[in-house]
Structure formats: C-alpha cells, structure tokens
Structure 1
Amino acid sequence: MSAYYGSGPGDITPDGCAVEFYSLLPPMGEPEIVHAAVPADASILELGCGTGRILRPLAELGHPVLGVDESPAMLARVAELPTVRASIETLRLDRAFDAVLLASTMLNADSARRRAFLQTCRRHVDPHGVVIVQRAEPSWFDTVEPSVREHDGIRRVIKKVHRDGPRVDVVIDYHVGDQTWTHAFSRHPVDERELAADLASARLRLDRWLTDDRTWFAACPETG
C-alpha cells in the first residue's frame, strides 16, 4: 500500500492528514511537557505545527512562538499566531530560538528525512537553547495491532497493520460524530544507538529524557 494517504471531509495534506480532524484534536499533555523543559518566556519554533494544537497553548503559557507547516489549510486554522509556510527540510529563517519543537512523532520518519529534520532543528536553535523532540514509544512497533479506542469523543479504529522489516505501516479511521477520516502512514523505529548517531550528524547531543516512557527528550547543540 502507499505509505501515506488520507481521505474524508475537508482538506487533506500531502502526507494524508485531515485538516478538519486535526482542528478537533485537543492537546494531550504536550504543551506542559515542553513548557516544563524550557525557561519561562523562552521563544519556541514549532516545526510541523499543523492547526496549532500545541502551539496555541504554548503561546497562552507566555512563550513567543512561531509555527511552520507546509499546508496552507493547516495554517489557516492558527491565523492568530505568527506562522511560516514551508517544508521543514528546506526551512531557513536566519534566526535562532530558545527552543525548537519537533513533535507528533515526526522523528520516526525514514533515516534521510529524520536527519534533515534534525539539521533544521540545529540551524534554528540558539547555541544555548534546546531542541525538544517526541518519538513513538519503542514498544509500539511490536505491539500495535488492529484495535478500537475512544477518547474525548474521538473513535480511533486501527484497520490494518503491516510490518515491512522494522517499518510499520498503519491504516486508521477516525470517527467524530457522523464524520470519518482515513489516514495511512508509516513509522520507522529509532533505537537509542541510531538516535545518538542521528543527533551527532546534526551536531546535537541527547541532554535528558523528559518522560518516563522515553518518548520525549531534550537535545542540546554541540558547539565549537
């Protein structure tokens, strides 16, 4: 199957994300994790900000923010905050931030894209700043199976799971009221050895884990 596709009401981004669905998603603890990991009033650049699900609460917590996304339909949902339309890999803002955020398990892309994302983080973080990253829980790759889960009025139905070597391809339906969206995507595991190598390739180093399940971590820029 194709690695990424999406269908359902409203705009669908090139990687299969449904804008209408993402505009309904509430924050799920991410703003608090980021806020606790950075100084008060730290400026934050979020890469792949989508509809502002994390960016908006960070601004409400007092952080000067800037969001980046390649989808104009996503950015239209966060028009009250400063944003830039661009791909993450090619982004060059010629300015540095106290913190750069790469959330939504985007780190679990293929190796080349993952390293490009991390290089963009490094280009835009202050030498004394921090990069905050979320990855998929390592055990997910072995345990994810077709299933049904409901939370906050959203019914998630994992319809298909296909393993191709270490990569996992998933097809999931999201149901909200009488609306349904389908999203197919791939995730690549990143073990700690690979993570260290990928960070080093971008002149970053792991600083600390931010959650007990090791899904969130902070990285610092290498200097000199």
Structure 2
Amino acid sequence: MNDYFGERVAARYDESYAELFEPEVVGPMVELLVRLADGGRALELGIGTGRVALPLARRGVPVHGIDLSPAMVTRLRAKPDSAAIGVTIGDFATTRVNGPFSVAYLVFNTIMNLTTQAEQVACFANVATHLEPGGCFIIEVGVPDLRSLPPGQTMVPLHDGPTSWAFDRYDVATQQMSSNYLEIVDGRGEYRSIPFRYVWPAELDLMAQLAGLRLRDRWSGWAGEPFTSESRKHVSLWEKPMIGPSRDD
C-alpha cells in the first residue's frame, strides 16, 4: 500500500475533515469500542492523527496503532495525551505488533486503502493473529455507491465549490476506484488522486471466514442502526471464537 497521506495531506487533514472530529460523530464510536475492549487493549489500523485513538485512550483503553504515514503520526504526537498511545509505522495488512488485543478496528473506509483483494484478505488474517479468543474486529466502510453511476458513466461527483472539485471514478470490472480532488490554491491548480478497492459486505464476510472469524453484528451506524438495502455504509463486527471456557464462565 503506497503512502497517499504525506506531509501535504497530513498538514491539513484535521481541518479538511473537521466534521468527523465532532463529539456527536466520535462519541458513539468510542462508546462501542470501550464496551468491546471490556478492560483489554485496542488495536487501530490506520491510526492517522488520532481522531478515535485519543478519546478512546482517555476512557482508559490502552491503544496501539499502525499507520503507514509518518507525517500523520507526527500530527498525532503533537497532541495532548498522545504519549500514552503506542504507534508502529507500517502497512497494517502485514505489520505485526505485540498483542494480544480485545478489539481491533478500521474506520472511515480505510480498508479500501488496500487496493487488492489479496491485501484485504491479508489484513483480516493479520488481525486474527493479534486478537485474543473472543476478541472482535470492527470495520466502518461505505457500501459501493454504484447506483449513483449514470448509465454508461464511470464518475460520481462528490462536491463542487468555487475553488474546488471532487469526484469518484469507478471501474466495475475490477472493483478499483479512485477519489479525485482538484483545488485552486493561490491561483494555481492542485490535483491529487487516491486509489481504492471497493468491497462488498458479503466479500468482507468471506475474508473474515478465511481468517477464522465469524460475523456477529452489522449495522448502518455506530449507534446500532439497522443495516438495510438502503444503507450507504455499514459497521460490521466479526469475532474470533473462544477456545475453551469464556472469561464469564
């Protein structure tokens, strides 16, 4: 997985996604993760600037993160309370850290930053090795928005502004897509494109099964809203089976 979150993106990341840092967005995520951790440790794949990890650690959950971008992690390290969070620089599909963990999580479509099916399968296998028996892996990711594609077209506009434009481009034959951004800054045009591989819920379930995990829950949001055919995203939870008696026995 290449690093598309270098210094230029990291310097503006929190500002660009400010709405995702709001308490009403982060709060339900942290509440669920605290319950799933159940006194154990949490592993965040793609920890970034600490949007989820910092409030989770402040709730008393020991957090370790993996991230490919030193620039993003530098922003995390500049924030209060970040010293309590361990971070390993690396590709979260293959990087190993000291475990075990009660919960691992991947939020905000980050599973799609792995741009091949093999990498996504490897990610599930990697997580399974880090989880303790009874531990959970939770992913937040959008449902592929193919219904928005006009007939015969490959692009879905995201937003238009006076000085910025964005669109997603899909290749339905390969499940490859990209998010593309054009912005006028100081009279000059800046363009960047981030590649992804979109993935269906049922495909993720099969990846989990290959890793020895089983689906426990699927919602359309972090507050447990029902997942339906109209849901635009899902929060899915897979569990590593217990070996022998559970902690509650």
Q: 1:166 deviation in Å? A: 4.9
Give the Cα–Cα distance (whole angstroms) in 1 for the partners of residues 204 and 39 of structure 2. Answer: 29
2:214 alignment partner, one of 199, 205, 219: 205
Give the Cα–Cα distance (whole angstroms) in 2 for the partners of residues 165 and 220 of structure 1. Answer: 31
Pair 4,92 (structure 1): closer, same or farther in 2 beyond 3 Å: closer
Give the Cα–Cα distance (whole angstroms) in 2 for the partners of residues 180 and 160 of structure 1. Answer: 18
Give the Cα–Cα distance (whole angstroms) in 2 for the partners of residues 97 and 103 of structure 1. Answer: 17
Q: 1:99 deviation in Å? A: 0.8
Q: 1:116 deviation in Å? A: 1.0
Q: 1:142 deviation in Å? A: 3.1
Give the Cα–Cα distance (whole angstroms) in 2 for the partners of residues 69 and 5 of structure 1. Answer: 10
What is residue 190 of structure 1 aligned with on the other side?
199
- Quick check: 57-66 or 195-204, which moved more? 57-66
Report the structure number with the largest CA radius of gyration.
2
Find out whether 1:141 has 2:146 as its counterpart.
yes
What is residue 15 of structure 1 aligned with on the other side?
none
Pair 4,64 (structure 1): closer, same or farther in 2 beyond 3 Å: closer
2:32 alignment partner, one of 29, 36, 60: 36
Q: 1:37 deviation in Å? A: 4.7
Q: 1:34 deviation in Å? A: 4.5
What is residue 53 of structure 2 aligned with on the other side?
55
Preserved CA contact (<8 Å) 2:30 2:55: no
Q: Please, what TM-score do these two structures have when normalized by structure 2?
A: 0.70
Q: 1:198 deviation in Å? A: 0.8
1:172 alignment partner, one of 172, 180, 184: 180
- For the residue of structure 2 that corresponds to 1:121, the secondary structure is helix
Give the Cα–Cα distance (whole angstroms) in 2 for the partners of residues 202 and 69 of structure 1. Answer: 21
- For the residue of structure 2 that corresponds to 1:89, the secondary structure is coil
What is residue 13 of structure 2 aligned with on the other side?
22
Preserved CA contact (<8 Å) 1:100 1:131: yes
How many positions carry a matched residue from both structures? 210
- For the residue of structure 2 that corresponds to 1:146, the secondary structure is strand
Find out whether 1:92 has 2:96 as its counterpart.
yes
1:120 alignment partner, one of 87, 110, 126: 126
Gaps of 5+ in 2: 150-155, 244-249
Find out whether 1:131 has 2:158 as its counterpart.
no
Find out whether 1:158 has 2:162 as its counterpart.
no
- The one-letter code sitting in structure 1 at the alignment partner of 2:42 is I
Give the Cα–Cα distance (whole angstroms) in 2 for the partners of residues 118 and 167 of structure 1. Answer: 19
What is residue 83 of structure 1 aligned with on the other side?
87
Give the Cα–Cα distance (whole angstroms) in 2 for the partners of residues 104 and 180 of structure 1. Answer: 27
Query: Root-mean-square deviation (CA), in Å?
Result: 3.2
Q: 1:168 deviation in Å? A: 4.4
Give the Cα–Cα distance (whole angstroms) in 2 for the partners of residues 31 and 186 of structure 1. Answer: 29
State the identity as a percent.
21
Give the Cα–Cα distance (whole angstroms) in 1 for the partners of residues 202 and 127 of structure 2. Answer: 20
Q: 1:5 deviation in Å? A: 8.3
Pair 5,94 (structure 1): closer, same or farther in 2 beyond 3 Å: closer
Q: Which has the higher relative contact order, 1 or 2, with Cα contacts under 8 A spaced 6 or more apart?
A: 1
Q: 1:43 deviation in Å? A: 2.1
Pair 180,5 (structure 1): closer, same or farther in 2 beyond 3 Å: farther
Give the Cα–Cα distance (whole angstroms) in 2 for the partners of residues 20 and 104 of structure 1. Answer: 19
- The one-letter code sitting in structure 2 at the alignment partner of 1:55 is A
Give the Cα–Cα distance (whole angstroms) in 2 for the partners of residues 86 and 56 of structure 1. Answer: 20
- Quick check: 189-198 or 78-87, which moved more? 189-198
Pair 223,180 (structure 1): closer, same or farther in 2 beyond 3 Å: farther
Preserved CA contact (<8 Å) 1:51 1:77: yes
